[in-house]
Amino acid sequence: MFIPVILYYIIFKYVPMFGLVIAFKNYNFHDGFWGSTWVGFKHFQTIFHSSQTISVIKNTLVLSVLQVFVSFPFPIVIAILLNEVRKSWFKRSVQTMLYIPHFLSWIIVGGMITTMFSMQTGAINHVITYLFGEPFPFLYRENSWIAVFVGSGIWRDAGYSAIIYIAALTAIDSSLYEAASMDGANKWRQVWHITLPGIRPTIFILLILSMGRILEVGFDHVYIMQNSTVSAVSEVISTYIYKVGLQSGQFSLTAALGLFESVVGLILVLSANSVAKRFKQNLW
Protein backbone atom coordinates (compact mmCIF):
# COMPACT_ATOMS: atom_id res chain seq x y z
CA MET A 1 0.00 0.00 0.00
CA PHE A 2 2.96 2.30 0.55
CA ILE A 3 4.46 1.66 -2.91
CA PRO A 4 2.35 4.34 -4.72
CA VAL A 5 3.51 6.95 -2.19
CA ILE A 6 7.15 5.96 -2.70
CA LEU A 7 6.75 6.07 -6.48
CA TYR A 8 5.10 9.48 -6.29
CA TYR A 9 8.03 11.01 -4.42
CA ILE A 10 10.63 9.28 -6.61
CA ILE A 11 9.00 10.32 -9.90
CA PHE A 12 7.78 13.81 -9.04
CA LYS A 13 10.21 14.91 -6.31
CA TYR A 14 13.58 13.19 -6.67
CA VAL A 15 13.93 12.58 -10.43
CA PRO A 16 13.29 16.29 -11.27
CA MET A 17 16.26 17.19 -9.05
CA PHE A 18 18.55 16.18 -11.91
CA GLY A 19 17.19 19.19 -13.78
CA LEU A 20 18.91 21.47 -11.26
CA VAL A 21 22.07 21.05 -13.33
CA ILE A 22 20.79 23.83 -15.60
CA ALA A 23 21.40 26.29 -12.74
CA PHE A 24 25.10 25.82 -13.49
CA LYS A 25 24.77 26.01 -17.30
CA ASN A 26 23.60 28.36 -20.04
CA TYR A 27 20.66 26.14 -20.80
CA ASN A 28 18.95 26.08 -24.20
CA PHE A 29 16.50 23.65 -25.77
CA HIS A 30 18.80 22.71 -28.64
CA ASP A 31 21.69 21.46 -26.49
CA GLY A 32 19.53 20.09 -23.67
CA PHE A 33 20.45 19.46 -20.03
CA TRP A 34 23.83 17.85 -20.66
CA GLY A 35 24.93 19.60 -23.85
CA SER A 36 24.49 23.20 -22.67
CA THR A 37 27.61 25.21 -21.80
CA TRP A 38 28.83 24.88 -18.20
CA VAL A 39 29.16 28.29 -16.50
CA GLY A 40 29.53 27.28 -12.84
CA PHE A 41 28.25 29.85 -10.34
CA LYS A 42 27.70 32.62 -12.89
CA HIS A 43 23.92 32.73 -12.39
CA PHE A 44 24.26 32.76 -8.61
CA GLN A 45 26.61 35.74 -8.89
CA THR A 46 24.01 37.45 -11.08
CA ILE A 47 21.35 36.86 -8.45
CA PHE A 48 23.36 38.41 -5.64
CA HIS A 49 24.61 41.34 -7.72
CA SER A 50 21.22 42.28 -9.15
CA SER A 51 19.11 44.78 -7.22
CA GLN A 52 15.96 43.29 -8.75
CA THR A 53 16.57 39.73 -7.52
CA ILE A 54 17.70 41.01 -4.12
CA SER A 55 14.41 42.91 -3.88
CA VAL A 56 12.48 39.78 -4.91
CA ILE A 57 14.22 37.70 -2.22
CA LYS A 58 13.57 40.41 0.38
CA ASN A 59 9.86 40.59 -0.54
CA THR A 60 9.57 36.80 -0.38
CA LEU A 61 11.24 36.72 3.03
CA VAL A 62 9.04 39.49 4.46
CA LEU A 63 5.77 37.99 3.23
CA SER A 64 6.79 34.47 4.29
CA VAL A 65 7.81 35.53 7.79
CA LEU A 66 4.54 37.42 8.19
CA GLN A 67 2.56 34.43 6.95
CA VAL A 68 4.35 32.00 9.26
CA PHE A 69 4.50 33.99 12.49
CA VAL A 70 1.34 36.11 12.19
CA SER A 71 -0.94 33.34 10.96
CA PHE A 72 0.65 30.48 12.96
CA PRO A 73 -1.24 31.13 16.26
CA PHE A 74 -4.69 31.37 14.65
CA PRO A 75 -5.25 27.61 14.06
CA ILE A 76 -4.18 26.95 17.66
CA VAL A 77 -6.65 29.51 19.00
CA ILE A 78 -9.44 28.15 16.78
CA ALA A 79 -8.76 24.58 17.91
CA ILE A 80 -8.78 25.55 21.59
CA LEU A 81 -12.02 27.53 21.23
CA LEU A 82 -13.74 24.69 19.36
CA ASN A 83 -12.51 22.24 21.98
CA GLU A 84 -14.39 24.22 24.63
CA VAL A 85 -17.70 24.12 22.74
CA ARG A 86 -20.10 21.62 24.27
CA LYS A 87 -23.02 21.90 21.82
CA SER A 88 -22.11 19.39 19.10
CA TRP A 89 -24.44 20.90 16.46
CA PHE A 90 -22.92 24.36 16.98
CA LYS A 91 -19.39 22.96 16.92
CA ARG A 92 -20.00 21.12 13.65
CA SER A 93 -21.59 24.20 12.07
CA VAL A 94 -18.68 26.44 13.01
CA GLN A 95 -16.13 23.87 11.85
CA THR A 96 -17.84 23.58 8.48
CA MET A 97 -17.87 27.36 7.97
CA LEU A 98 -14.19 27.58 8.93
CA TYR A 99 -13.15 24.69 6.66
CA ILE A 100 -15.01 25.75 3.51
CA PRO A 101 -12.70 28.68 2.53
CA HIS A 102 -9.73 26.30 2.26
CA PHE A 103 -11.42 24.47 -0.64
CA LEU A 104 -11.94 27.67 -2.63
CA SER A 105 -9.36 28.34 -5.32
CA TRP A 106 -7.30 31.52 -5.06
CA ILE A 107 -9.02 32.70 -8.25
CA ILE A 108 -12.31 32.80 -6.37
CA VAL A 109 -10.74 34.20 -3.19
CA GLY A 110 -8.93 36.87 -5.20
CA GLY A 111 -12.20 37.88 -6.84
CA MET A 112 -13.89 38.11 -3.45
CA ILE A 113 -11.06 40.23 -2.05
CA THR A 114 -11.17 42.56 -5.05
CA THR A 115 -14.93 42.87 -4.69
CA MET A 116 -14.61 43.71 -0.99
CA PHE A 117 -11.66 46.13 -1.14
CA SER A 118 -12.07 47.75 -4.57
CA MET A 119 -12.01 51.56 -4.44
CA GLN A 120 -14.98 52.06 -6.75
CA THR A 121 -17.24 49.08 -6.08
CA GLY A 122 -15.87 47.54 -2.89
CA ALA A 123 -18.35 46.97 -0.08
CA ILE A 124 -15.86 48.10 2.57
CA ASN A 125 -15.05 51.32 0.72
CA HIS A 126 -18.75 52.07 0.37
CA VAL A 127 -18.94 52.16 4.17
CA ILE A 128 -15.71 54.18 4.46
CA THR A 129 -16.93 56.68 1.87
CA TYR A 130 -20.21 57.06 3.73
CA LEU A 131 -18.42 57.66 7.04
CA PHE A 132 -15.34 59.64 5.97
CA GLY A 133 -16.17 61.00 2.52
CA GLU A 134 -13.55 59.23 0.39
CA PRO A 135 -12.46 55.62 -0.23
CA PHE A 136 -9.18 54.09 0.90
CA PRO A 137 -6.92 52.34 -1.68
CA PHE A 138 -6.40 49.09 0.24
CA LEU A 139 -4.98 47.22 -2.76
CA TYR A 140 -2.86 50.10 -4.07
CA ARG A 141 -0.82 51.03 -1.01
CA GLU A 142 2.05 48.80 0.03
CA ASN A 143 1.32 48.48 3.76
CA SER A 144 -2.40 47.93 3.34
CA TRP A 145 -1.77 45.45 0.49
CA ILE A 146 0.49 43.39 2.76
CA ALA A 147 -2.15 43.46 5.50
CA VAL A 148 -4.87 42.30 3.10
CA PHE A 149 -2.55 39.62 1.70
CA VAL A 150 -1.74 38.15 5.12
CA GLY A 151 -5.32 38.50 6.35
CA SER A 152 -6.75 36.70 3.32
CA GLY A 153 -4.33 33.81 3.88
CA ILE A 154 -5.43 33.53 7.51
CA TRP A 155 -9.12 33.61 6.55
CA ARG A 156 -8.67 30.89 3.93
CA ASP A 157 -6.41 28.41 5.73
CA ALA A 158 -6.61 28.91 9.50
CA GLY A 159 -9.75 26.83 9.96
CA TYR A 160 -8.46 23.90 7.93
CA SER A 161 -5.05 24.03 9.62
CA ALA A 162 -6.79 23.74 13.00
CA ILE A 163 -7.78 20.13 12.20
CA ILE A 164 -4.37 18.81 13.27
CA TYR A 165 -4.54 20.66 16.58
CA ILE A 166 -8.10 19.47 17.20
CA ALA A 167 -6.90 15.90 16.69
CA ALA A 168 -4.02 16.53 19.12
CA LEU A 169 -6.44 17.90 21.71
CA THR A 170 -8.45 14.68 21.72
CA ALA A 171 -5.37 12.84 23.02
CA ILE A 172 -5.24 14.91 26.22
CA ASP A 173 -6.55 13.00 29.24
CA SER A 174 -9.86 14.57 30.33
CA SER A 175 -9.16 13.63 33.95
CA LEU A 176 -6.49 16.35 33.99
CA TYR A 177 -9.17 18.98 33.40
CA GLU A 178 -11.37 17.45 36.10
CA ALA A 179 -8.52 17.50 38.61
CA ALA A 180 -7.62 21.08 37.71
CA SER A 181 -11.26 22.15 38.06
CA MET A 182 -11.48 20.57 41.51
CA ASP A 183 -8.33 22.46 42.49
CA GLY A 184 -10.02 25.71 41.52
CA ALA A 185 -8.33 26.36 38.15
CA ASN A 186 -10.43 28.47 35.78
CA LYS A 187 -10.61 27.93 32.01
CA TRP A 188 -7.64 30.16 31.27
CA ARG A 189 -5.46 28.29 33.78
CA GLN A 190 -6.57 24.94 32.32
CA VAL A 191 -5.67 26.08 28.82
CA TRP A 192 -2.30 27.44 29.93
CA HIS A 193 -1.24 24.50 32.11
CA ILE A 194 -2.94 21.55 30.40
CA THR A 195 -4.07 22.29 26.84
CA LEU A 196 -1.00 24.10 25.53
CA PRO A 197 1.53 21.66 27.09
CA GLY A 198 -0.57 18.79 25.73
CA ILE A 199 -0.32 19.99 22.13
CA ARG A 200 3.22 21.38 22.41
CA PRO A 201 4.80 18.51 20.42
CA THR A 202 2.37 19.16 17.56
CA ILE A 203 3.08 22.90 17.69
CA PHE A 204 6.83 22.30 17.45
CA ILE A 205 6.49 19.82 14.58
CA LEU A 206 4.32 22.14 12.50
CA LEU A 207 6.54 25.11 13.29
CA ILE A 208 9.63 23.20 12.11
CA LEU A 209 7.86 22.17 8.90
CA SER A 210 6.65 25.72 8.28
CA MET A 211 10.22 27.02 8.63
CA GLY A 212 11.13 24.93 5.59
CA ARG A 213 8.61 26.95 3.58
CA ILE A 214 9.86 30.31 4.80
CA LEU A 215 10.81 31.37 1.25
CA GLU A 216 7.83 29.72 -0.42
CA VAL A 217 5.02 32.19 -0.94
CA GLY A 218 2.21 30.58 -2.89
CA PHE A 219 2.22 31.64 -6.53
CA ASP A 220 -1.57 31.76 -6.93
CA HIS A 221 -2.10 33.88 -3.83
CA VAL A 222 0.40 36.56 -4.83
CA TYR A 223 -0.21 36.52 -8.59
CA ILE A 224 -3.96 37.00 -8.23
CA MET A 225 -3.62 39.91 -5.80
CA GLN A 226 -0.56 41.77 -7.10
CA ASN A 227 -0.72 44.83 -9.33
CA SER A 228 1.85 47.21 -10.82
CA THR A 229 1.27 49.83 -8.12
CA VAL A 230 2.52 47.55 -5.33
CA SER A 231 5.06 45.55 -7.36
CA ALA A 232 7.83 46.84 -5.09
CA VAL A 233 6.50 44.60 -2.29
CA SER A 234 4.47 41.99 -4.17
CA GLU A 235 7.06 40.59 -6.59
CA VAL A 236 8.26 37.32 -5.00
CA ILE A 237 10.40 34.38 -6.10
CA SER A 238 7.51 32.30 -7.47
CA THR A 239 6.09 35.12 -9.61
CA TYR A 240 9.59 36.19 -10.69
CA ILE A 241 10.39 32.65 -11.83
CA TYR A 242 7.15 32.56 -13.83
CA LYS A 243 7.71 35.91 -15.53
CA VAL A 244 11.47 35.73 -16.09
CA GLY A 245 11.93 31.96 -16.37
CA LEU A 246 8.87 30.79 -18.29
CA GLN A 247 7.80 33.94 -20.13
CA SER A 248 11.26 35.35 -20.89
CA GLY A 249 13.08 32.03 -21.27
CA GLN A 250 15.84 32.64 -18.69
CA PHE A 251 15.63 29.10 -17.36
CA SER A 252 19.14 28.85 -15.90
CA LEU A 253 18.84 32.06 -13.87
CA THR A 254 15.50 31.14 -12.36
CA ALA A 255 16.66 27.56 -11.72
CA ALA A 256 19.55 29.01 -9.71
CA LEU A 257 17.10 31.16 -7.78
CA GLY A 258 14.88 28.16 -7.11
CA LEU A 259 17.87 26.13 -5.90
CA PHE A 260 18.86 28.98 -3.58
CA GLU A 261 15.32 29.00 -2.19
CA SER A 262 15.44 25.25 -1.51
CA VAL A 263 18.84 25.42 0.18
CA VAL A 264 17.70 28.23 2.47
CA GLY A 265 14.59 26.19 3.36
CA LEU A 266 16.76 23.18 4.24
CA ILE A 267 19.03 25.30 6.45
CA LEU A 268 16.04 26.79 8.26
CA VAL A 269 14.51 23.34 8.89
CA LEU A 270 17.79 22.05 10.32
CA SER A 271 18.15 25.17 12.47
CA ALA A 272 14.57 24.96 13.75
CA ASN A 273 15.04 21.29 14.58
CA SER A 274 18.24 22.11 16.50
CA VAL A 275 16.36 24.71 18.56
CA ALA A 276 13.51 22.26 19.17
CA LYS A 277 16.02 19.65 20.34
CA ARG A 278 16.77 21.84 23.34
CA PHE A 279 13.12 21.45 24.35
CA LYS A 280 13.17 17.73 23.47
CA GLN A 281 10.60 18.33 20.73
CA ASN A 282 12.83 17.70 17.71
CA LEU A 283 11.81 15.64 14.68
CA TRP A 284 15.04 13.65 14.54
Cα dihedral value 109, 97, 146, 212, nearest 10: -100
Per-residue pLDDT tens over the stretch 238-259: 999 899 988 888 999 999 998 8
Tell me the sheet residues that pair with 37: 26
For residues 203 and 76, the answer to whether their CB atoms sit within 8 Å is yes
Sign of the C-alpha dihedral, residues 67, 73, 76, 81? negative
Confidence of residue 86 (pLDDT cuts 50, 70, 90): confident
Q: Is the pLDDT of residue 146 over 90?
A: yes
For residue 35, the model assigns a pLDDT of 86
Tell me the pLDDT band of 24, cut-offs 50, 70 and 90.
very high
Average pLDDT, the chain: 88
What 3-state class would DSSP assign to 119?
Answer: coil
pLDDT, tens digit, 9 for 90 and up, residues 101-142: 999 888 898 888 888 998 888 889 899 988 888 889 999 999
- 86 Cβ contact list (under 8 Å, min separation 6): none
Check residue 67 and give its pLDDT. 86
* Closest CA relative to residue 228, chosen from 149, 151, 142, 143: 142
Write down all domains in the chain, each with its CATH number in brackets. 59-237 (1.10.3720.10)
Cβ atoms of 94 and 85 closer than 8 Å: yes
CA-nearest of 171, 173, 163 to 206 is 163
Give dist(CA 41, CA 64) in Å, integer: 26
pLDDT, mean of residues 80-92: 87
Distance CA 104, CA 276 (A): 34
- Tell me what pLDDT residue 120 has: 81
Task: Pick left, alpha or beta for residue 32 (phi over 0 → left; psi -120 to 50 → alpha; otherwise beta).
Answer: left
Return d(Cα 73, Cα 158) in angstroms, integer. 9
CA 210 to chain centre: 7
pLDDT digits 0-9 by tens, 171-225: 888 898 889 888 888 888 999 989 999 999 899 888 888 877 777 787 888 998 8
